[in-house]
């Protein structure tokens, strides 16, 4: 009889845990503020890189139109 009662109490305690959300699933109360890294991917450097790539592509097209053939001709 003791084993049945112990099994019932373990089952009951496990079912109560399933109803509560895990601590990792709770929303944080405050959002941590992170410092910007000194190097790496920043919005301003990525924007500058994209703009320079666009200018380089336009310059390449202008050179190819001026020469009349592709720049990488063998």
Reading phi first (left if > 0) and then psi (alpha if -120 to 50, else beta), residue 40 is in left
pTM above 0.85, yes or no: no
pLDDT tens-digit profile of 21-33?
A: 566 677 767 888 8
Report the pLDDT value the prediction gives residue 57, as an integer from 0 to 100.
96
How far apart (Å, rounded) are the C-alpha atoms in residues 20 and 62?
Answer: 65
Which spans in 1-71 are helix H?
A: 2-19, 43-67
Report the pLDDT value the prediction gives residue 74, as an integer from 0 to 100.
59
pLDDT tens-digit profile of 4-59?
A: 555 545 555 555 555 565 666 777 678 888 887 777 778 888 999 999 999 999 99
């Amino acid at each position: 009889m003791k084993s049945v009662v112990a099994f019932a109490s373990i089952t009951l305690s496990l079912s109560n845990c399933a109803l509560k959300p895990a601590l990792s699933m709770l929303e944080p109360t405050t959002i941590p503020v992170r410092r910007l890294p000194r190097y790496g991917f920043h919005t301003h450097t990525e924007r500058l890189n994209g703009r320079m790539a666009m200018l380089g592509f336009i310059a390449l097209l202008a050179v190819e139109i001026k020469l009349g053939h592709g720049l990488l001709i063998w």
